[in-house]
Amino acid sequence: MAEAKVSSNARRRMLMNRTRANAHVLPTPERISAAEVLQSFIRRANALKEHAQRGTMLPVRQRIIEELITTERSYAAGLTSLVEDIIVPLRALVDSPGHVVESSVVSKLFANTAVEMIQQISTQLLADLTKRAAERPVPRIGDILFNMSKVLNMYT
pLDDT tens, position by position, 30-87: 555 666 667 767 777 777 776 666 655 567 778 888 899 999 999 999 999 988 998 8
Q: What is the pLDDT of residue 130?
A: 92
Q: What is the pLDDT of residue 4?
A: 46
Distances (CA, A) of 136 to 58, 100, 127: 11, 53, 17
Between 14 and 128, residue with greater pLDDT: 128
Residue 137 above 80 pLDDT?
no
Binned at pLDDT 50, 70 and 90, residue 18 comes out as low
Residue 24 above 60 pLDDT?
no
DSSP-derived secondary structure for 5-53: HHHHHHHHHHHHHHHGGGTTTS--GGG--HHHHHHHHHHHHHHHHHHHH
**Sign for the pseudo-dihedral over CA of 38, 20, 25, 49:** negative
Q: What is the pLDDT of residue 107?
A: 78
Share of the chain above pLDDT 70, in %: 65
Share of the chain above pLDDT 90, in %: 15
Residue 118 above 60 pLDDT?
yes
